[in-house]
Structures are given as structure tokens and as C-alpha cells.
Amino acid sequence: MSKMNEQHITTGGMKMRMKIGIVGAGYVGLVSAAVFADWGHDVVCVDHDAEKIGRIRAGDLPVYEPGLADMVERNRQAGRLRFTTDLSRTAGELDLLIIAVGTPAADDGHPDLTALWNVVHSLKQCVKGDLTVAIKSTVPIGTCQAVSRFLNGHPGSRFDVVAAPEFLRQGTAIADFLSPDRVVIGCRTEAAKRKMQQLFAPLACPLLFTDWQSAEMIKYAANAFLAMKISYINTIANLCEQVGADIQQVALGIGLDRRIGPAYLQPGIGFGGSCLPKDTQAIVALGKDYGVDVSLFREVLRVNREQRGRIVQKLADRLGGVQGKTIAVLGLAFKANTNDVREAPALDIITRIVQAGGEVVAYDPAVNMESLKNDFCFTPAADAYQAVTGADAVVILTEWEEFHGLDLQQIRSLMRHPLVIDGRNLYAPHMMKQHGFHYVPVGVPEQEVAEAAATTV
Ligand code: UDX
């Protein structure tokens, strides 16, 4: 615990050390639990999955997140962080209960709130007295209101519901949690506002207090905007390939305009993960529910799907079809520094290659490939060199640091054909050309790749 945080929890004469319950031991729940415990609070993290809790207690976290395992262990040893499956035994003693369960997309694009409502029903049964309940799960607009109505339907207990959307990214979750651009809190009472001000006092960022609906909407709107920026830059990249421009230079030139900003202008294979696709789908479903034209976001999703297809098309164009060809796929995770493959573009791309008659050998440094190989019909490799051995082409789908440092000479010598389709623009085109590769990045015309090589030789 840092000096600053020790001061935070003891100054002002108020009770600053809170007893916090967090339901849901996924990304958001575990990171929140670890950080709040690190700030000195007494935290209990609850999950109904006994196997998961057993693994966590044994030091085996269900998510791969840099720095998280150490932070969890440090706080467990200090007695500030506990894990349990039993909500009823702890809920009654808490100052604050945070709900951070998953709300995955249902088939119709709406989030599935089953897990959230299960928690809410349990709370109503086991809490007698007052409790502040903060909802960190991403929930449709109107959920906090519905939860508050349900919980406060009977006399005896008073539940103060707070919307507390989370904006952390996988792979940088702890850093994002500790230095967010803002914290958004939707609440209705002064008491809840004060509690959340105390909780987030260690952060140097603005705290934005809003009504419930606006806080819920901010989460969807922010993620849909990021998704839109990625589909936008991918569309510009596709144009660059045809008109002879270089997307890296173009993105730099666009991003230097402060009205636009440089973030989320990296072109590639489109967005994946547990949030951007789901939350953009949810906005589309919302538009349908309320009769609002949200075709902009339908298009964002369509462009995103097409971007995956373009990778397979690039392969087929250069190999004369992928039927009977062996394709090495480097990277399965939806982005680097995570083992998460939810909505991972790589799995979709592999499926398309296999459906077109190609054979896939895949490698990822963090993803558990054994659990995926049968469903997605690929052969796992122990490392990148094994994956590329005898390959007709290599496709790079995750920007792992490890792939930056590959011995390109060796990779070239192991491949049957020197075709590299780079969905993440990891390498300098001239360097790849010098190593004898036929290198196809995103958003750079092949003519440009060839000319860049010619001018630097
Ligand atoms: C996202 C939001 O950023 C975060 O605020 C929210 O809480 C959860 O969803 P995350 O899913 O962890 O976070 O990943 P993010 O880093 O945003 O990337 C999402 C996807 O977009 C990845 O597939 C990534 O590869 C892709 N991406 C991102 C691009 O293709 N180009 C970019 O410039 C940025």
C-alpha cells in the first residue's frame, strides 16, 4: 500500500477504510478487488463458480493480466483480500457491494443480464439494512432504475444503487484502473455520491457525476465510438492500398489533429474482445427497441466483419486460392498481453481459411490452444518457428512483442513460400523485402512496399 493511499484512508476523521464486496471474479471484478484492497480497503470477492474460486485461492488466476497475480497475492497475504462463493454470509456487513458479473451478448444483440439479476435476487434475500450497490457490469440503459425498484420494493432494507461503468482495457487493466481519464458515476443520493468520492479519492482524474441513464449510456457510447474509429481507419487503410498512400503516414497525419487524436487509429484485422463488438451490437439493438436510426453502427460492425474477410482474400489472391495450402497463423488472442479469444478476429479468420480448404498451424504465446484446436480445426505449434515450418504463408493476427523479435532469416528459411500477410503491421516493409519475403501489410500498396525496399537497399 502506498504512502498516499495510507493517508487517504485515514484522514478527515471519517471512516475511510471500507468493507467492499465485489461479485464476479472476471477481469473487471478481479482488477477492482485487487486495487481497492491495495488502497487499504477490506475486500471480499465473490463468485458462484466454486472451481474458479478454488483456483484463485491456489494462486491460479482465471485471466492473464500483467501485474494482477502479484497484486492479488500481496493483498491476500496482507489479509485485505478474500475470495468466497458465499454472498449471503458477507453481504450484510458491507459498506459497498460492487456487481461486476459478465453481461455477454445474447443472440438478438441485447446483453444477457441473467447473471446480474441472479445477484440482485440474492441480495434482496440476504441483505437486511442499508447497502450501496454499484453496478460495474455494462448494462442497458434503465437497468439501474429497474434494479433499484426491485430491491427497494419492500420495507426493511434500503438499497442505494449506483451506476459505475468501467473503462479498463485487457492487457493494461491495472494501469488503466490507476490512471483513468475519468471516472463516471451515476447516482441519485448525496450519500452515494460521498461514498464514491471517498472510494476514488486516490485517483487524480475528474469524477463525473451523472444520472443513472447517462452513466449507462456513456459506457456504450464510448465503446461504440472506439469501434467506429477502428472501422473508420480500416476503411481508409483499404483505400490507401488502392490509391498508393501509406496508412501509417496517413494515420499519423490525421491523429496529430487534436480534434481527432492519435488513439485507436491502428489499422488491422478489426476489433474483437469482450466489449467493443458486444457494446456496438447493444447500441444497434437499442436503436431497434426505440425506433432510432443507428445504421451508422450497423455499418461499423459490417466493416469490421469484412476486414477479417480481406485477410483471407489477400491470401487467396497471392496463393491462387488456399485449397490444400498450409497457413501458419501467429497470434490467436484478440490483442496482445491477454489470453482472451472472445470475439477474436483470429478465430474467425482461421475458420474462413479452413472452410476454403486450407490447413492451419497456429501459435500464440498465451492462449490455451489445446482447448480450441478441435472446434477451430487447427494444429497447435509450440512456437512461431514450428508454426511456420513448411508453410505456404504466414498470417500475423496478434501484435505480441515476441513476434517483433523473431529471427526473420530463420523464419524465411523454414517456410515453403515466403508470403507474409501482416494483419498488425509489425514490420518495416523494406526490411521484410530485404529478407526475401513477399510482405503484405494493411493499408500499404504492394507497389509502395517494393519501392521502399528499392530505395533503402
Ligand atoms: C475495450 C475498451 O477500450 C475499454 O474501455 C472497455 O472497458 C472494454 O473494451 P479491450 O476490449 O480490452 O477494451 O481492448 P482495446 O484495447 O480497446 O481493443 C479492442 C480491439 O480493437 C482489439 O481487438 C484491438 O486489437 C482493436 N484495435 C484497437 C484496433 O484494431 N486498432 C486500434 O487502433 C485499437
**Tell me, what's the pLDDT at 90?**
86
Identify residue 175 by its one-letter amino acid code: A
Domains in the chain, please, with CATH? 3-210 (3.40.50.720), 244-454 (3.40.50.720)
Phi, then psi, of 331 in degrees rounded to 5: 100, 120
How many H helices and E strands in the chain? 20, 14
Nearest to 453 by CA among 423, 428, 424: 428
| Average pLDDT value over all residues in the chain | 93
- Ligand 1 centroid distance, CA of 223 (Å): 9
Q: Kindly give the number of the ligand 1 atom that is closest to the alpha carbon of 272.
A: 23
pLDDT digits (tens, 9 = 90+) for 298-330: 999 999 999 999 999 999 999 999 999 999 999
144 lines ligand 1 (CB under 6 A): no
Which among 28, 137, 229, 230 is the best mutation to test ligand 1's pocket, defined by most ligand atoms within 8 Å of the CB?
Answer: 230
158 lines ligand 1 (CB under 6 A): no
Q: Between the CA atoms of 334, 83, 161 and 68, what dihedral angle is there, to the nearest 10 degrees?
A: -40
Q: Kindly give the number of the ligand 1 atom that is closest to the alpha carbon of 275.
A: 9
- Ligand 1 centroid distance, CA of 221 (Å): 14
Q: Kindly give the number of the ligand 1 atom that is closest to the alpha carbon of 266.
A: 33
- Rounded to an integer, what distance in angstroms lies between the CA atom of residue 291 and that of residue 289? 6
334 lines ligand 1 (CB under 6 A): yes
Lowest mean pLDDT among 37-51, 106-120, 442-456: 442-456
* Maximal C-alpha separation, the chain: 80
- Count the Cβ atoms, other than its own, within 10 Å of residue 243: 7
Asked if residues 429 and 441 have their Cβ atoms less than 8 Å apart, the reply is yes
pLDDT confidence band for 3 (50 / 70 / 90): very low
pLDDT digits (tens, 9 = 90+) for 177-209: 999 999 999 999 999 999 999 999 999 999 999
**Tell me, what's the pLDDT at 448?**
67
Look at ligand 1, atom 27, and give the residue with the nearest C-alpha: 271
Residue 137: pLDDT above 70? Answer: yes
- Ligand 1 centroid distance, CA of 306 (Å): 18
Strand locations in 280-377 (E): 326-330, 359-363
pTM: 0.93
pLDDT digits (tens, 9 = 90+) for 381-396: 999 999 999 999 999 9
Cell numbers found for residue 451: 519501392
Catalytic residues: 275
pLDDT digits (tens, 9 = 90+) for 4-47: 443 344 333 345 899 999 999 999 999 999 999 999 999 999 99
268 lines ligand 1 (CB under 6 A): yes
Question: Which residues neighbour 224 within 8 Å (Cβ) at sequence distance 6 or greater?
Answer: 279, 280, 283, 297, 300
